[in-house]
């Protein structure tokens, strides 16, 4: 079972004390897998005050070896995780602009967001970065898997664009490191064709293929080892009760393709009853499907340095929410048998 949490900020903290505290608390909760950003790109390092791992601009592509705000921060996070027996999922790119996403590549090499997937110069630079990260950490026991992108989208595009990109890129990663799993990192969007193969689908946003992603076709790619599913119904316009349907639909696709499916991100904003809302989703994972695991967005703590890399979805250490949705659920999942009733 892939039971864990999201802590995107782990390799972007400047303080060793912050990293150590967070890893200690994550381990104490019982989490064994953590998803943390393996990317960090800027186009202008002169105006960059946060941690970043590479620079892309008209002068070229450079990796940041500065010990205070460069790749050494990710080095430290991975070493700290290893000491606690925690493994990391490392996404190597972000769909969004935060911390250097797809647009940092197109800013440097031309085109727009959607053309990134077929932009030869941008893809060459992206593969350079993949090689840099994968070769640096592939021998570490703290690596759980590599992830192509956090929530890749190509809005309004044919889903074949991302499917080809995912196939080519995952094969490249496997050529560098055949010993670790690779995932796409998508939200699990379905097209009208793929949606018609599952129960209880509806003609609405998540099933139209508008974001240019076809979960079913992508999961069939031989060099992708498991599928990822995300859920943000406050952003997508769905009722929270629909979450269990979304989980079950992806479970069915995973069963048909004989591949694991991971509920990689799900969240309830602050101000709502998180236990009452997310509890039924966790129960669906635990008792009604063979979904391999789930990872809440996101773990949070009070950092000694005062750093605040958090949002309104954070579930804080030493709260009833984390005790129930975190620690207790970890214990329940540890006893789960891989059964599927849906």
Active site (catalytic) residues? 151, 265
Strand partners, 299: 315
Task: Give how far Cα 118 sits from Cα of 14, 23, 28, 41, 240, Å.
Answer: 35, 38, 44, 20, 36
Distance in angstroms (rounded) separating the CA atoms of residues 328 and 323: 6
Write b or e for each residue in 227-259: b if 16 or more Cβ atoms lie within 10 A of its Cβ, otherwise e. Answer: bbbbbbbeeeebebebbbbbbbbbbbbbbeeeb
Distance of alpha carbon 184 from alpha carbon 208, whole angstroms: 19
Q: Which helix (H) or strand (E) holds 230?
A: strand 227-231
Q: Nearest to residue 231, comparing CAs of 159, 144, 295, 152?
A: 295
Q: Which of 109, 107, 85 minimizes the C-alpha distance to 97? A: 107
- Residue among 338, 164, 160, 169 nearest 259 (CA): 338
């Amino acid at each position: 079972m892939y039971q864990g949490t999201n802590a995107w900020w782990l390799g972007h903290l400047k303080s060793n004390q912050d990293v150590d505290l967070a890893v200690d608390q994550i381990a104490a909760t019982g989490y064994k897998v953590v998803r943390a950003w393996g990317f960090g790109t800027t186009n202008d390092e002169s105006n960059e005050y946060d941690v970043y791992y590479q620079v892309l601009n008209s002068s070229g592509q450079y990796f940041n070896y500065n010990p205070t705000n460069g790749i050494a921060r990710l080095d430290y996070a991975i070493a700290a995780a290893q000491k606690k027996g925690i493994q990391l999922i490392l996404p190597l790119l972000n769909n969004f602009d935060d911390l250097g996403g797809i647009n940092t590549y197109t800013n440097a090499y031309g085109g727009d967001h959607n053309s990134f997937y077929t932009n030869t110069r941008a893809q060459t630079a992206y593969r350079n970065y993949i090689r840099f990260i994968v070769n640096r950490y592939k021998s570490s026991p703290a690596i759980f898997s590599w992830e192509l992108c956090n929530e890749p989208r190509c809005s309004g595009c044919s889903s074949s664009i991302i499917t080809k990109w995912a196939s080519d890129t995952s094969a490249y990663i496997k050529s560098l490191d055949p010993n670790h799993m690779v995932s796409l990192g998508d939200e699990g969007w379905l097209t009208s064709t793929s949606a018609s193969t599952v129960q209880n689908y509806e003609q609405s946003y998540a099933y139209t293929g508008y974001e240019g992603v076809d979960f079913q076709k992508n999961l069939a790619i031989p060099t992708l080892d498991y599928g990822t599913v995300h859920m943000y119904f406050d952003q997508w316009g769905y009722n929270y009760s629909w979450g269990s349907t979304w989980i079950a639909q992806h479970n069915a696709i995973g069963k048909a393709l004989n591949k694991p499916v991971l509920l990689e991100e799900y969240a309830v904003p602050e101000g709502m009853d998180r236990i009452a809302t997310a509890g039924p989703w966790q129960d669906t994972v635990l008792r009604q499907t063979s979904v391999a695991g789930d990872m809440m967005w996101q773990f949070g703590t009070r950092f000694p340095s005062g750093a605040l890399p958090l949002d309104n979805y954070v579930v804080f250490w030493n709260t009833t929410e984390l005790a129930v949705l975190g620690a207790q659920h970890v214990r329940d999942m540890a006893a789960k048998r891989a059964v599927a009733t849906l």
